[in-house]
Amino acid sequence: MLDAYIYDGLRSPFGRYVGALATVRADDLVATVIKALVEKHQLSADIFDEVLLGSANQAGEDSRNIARNAALLAGLDVTTPGQTVNRLCASGLSTVVDAARSITCNEGDIILAGGVESMTRAPFVFAKTEQPFSRDFKVFDTTIGSRFPNPKIIEQFGSDTMPQTGDNVAQKYGITREEADNFAAASQAKYQAAKQAGFFDDEITPITVSQGKKLPAKVVIDDEHPRASSNIEALQKL
């Protein structure tokens, strides 16, 4: 078996829900990162044997094989195949595993693997009616939780969202509010220390966002989720 190596990695800034990247489609977002990676190393457009992208939602603009669409938008050769992987929260990681597996099996030499998501742009969807001339329809929010849930699944396993699951885990394992706040504060502090040390400088690809005809384009270069003011005292007030 051959060995597989990670050669390099880039990403966009992490955005908040309805934040600075709200107007950017998921396929355009990841295409910008792919293009930046190609330009960084002066790669040829046909160098990749395959593009693998994880995407958990796939309910709107990220449907119809976003890996293939992103490859085309990034200017890769039209013969470059794309495959989209859905393992929900582990989708992007799964593409890296799949790429390594393909290389060790001699199914390719250079594979681009990653993931993309825009929960802000996850659409509302509604099902088709099951009866002729019916005026009734159900609307689902695809941002979080299951859409078009199967009643049999709900009956057997429930329909808890991620926030509900977090609360379930805390109760099951006896995680106290104080422990959670301390962990969160430590995580925020570690991020700030890493940012000040320039740890993220080489991995974040700036994203240019249009603000309309009357305003200049905005360049987003920083992650939006971290809060420098998030210390234990501030968290305890939430």
Per-residue tokens: 66: 């976003």
Lowest mean pLDDT among 73-82, 172-181, 209-218: 209-218
Helix ranges (DSSP H) in the chain: 26-40, 66-73, 91-104, 151-157, 162-173, 177-196, 232-236
* pLDDT confidence band for 213 (50 / 70 / 90): confident
Considering only the top CATH level, what class is 26-121?
alpha beta
Strand partners, 114: 53
218 three-class SS? strand
Query: pLDDT, tens digit, for every residue of 52-74?
Result: 999 999 999 999 999 999 999 99
Per-residue tokens: 219: 């360049």
Structural domain spans, the chain: 26-121, 123-159
Strand partners, 111: 50
